Amino acid sequence: MNVKVIYRSRKGHTAMVAEEIAKHCGTEALDITEPHTLGETDLLFIGTGIYNSRPDELLMDYLDQLPVNKIRGAAIFCTAGKGIDATGLLVSILEHKGITVYRQRFCCRGRHLWRSKGHPNEEDLQAAGEFADKVLRAFQG
């Protein structure tokens, strides 16, 4: 199965989670702001920070540009200062393109100003790895 992990991280918190997920998938985490090629992908993990209760605009633009019929499935993860998942817009973009989106999403705290200092921490990263394992099993089965 061809698995890819992409992310957009402004402060490095989402990048930490992306690296952990990529490790569990046996692949590398790809920053969407750096040159890369997705090609045919069976499962795409997509990570973003949540800013003002919205996913990163650059990531949403990136997903708008994804070709149709190149990606079979997707799983979404995020980091947010409040720890609240606000990735519904990403789901809408992907489903509009005919991409099957894994029903559960992973969200952990990411530091914002004084809030959530020390996150994502080891416990958050362990939970991210468990999320990746669960998604992999679901898409392989």
The full set of domain ranges for the chain reads 3-140
Q: Would you place residue 67 in the very low, low, confident or very high pLDDT band (cuts 50, 70, 90)?
A: confident
pLDDT, position 105? 96
Question: Rounded to an integer, what is the distance from CA 45 to the centroid of its chain?
Answer: 5
State how beta strands 41-51 and 54-55 pair: antiparallel
Q: Is the pLDDT of residue 17 over 70?
A: yes
pLDDT, position 112? 55
pLDDT digits (tens, 9 = 90+) for 34-49: 999 998 999 999 999 9
Task: Assess whether the previous peptide bond of 120 is cis (omega < 30° from 0).
Answer: yes
Q: Which residue has the higher pLDDT, 117 or 76?
A: 76
Q: Does domain 3-140 correspond to CATH entry 1.10.1740.10?
A: no
How far apart are alpha carbons 5 and 11 in whole angstroms? 18
Q: Is the pLDDT of residue 129 over 90?
A: yes
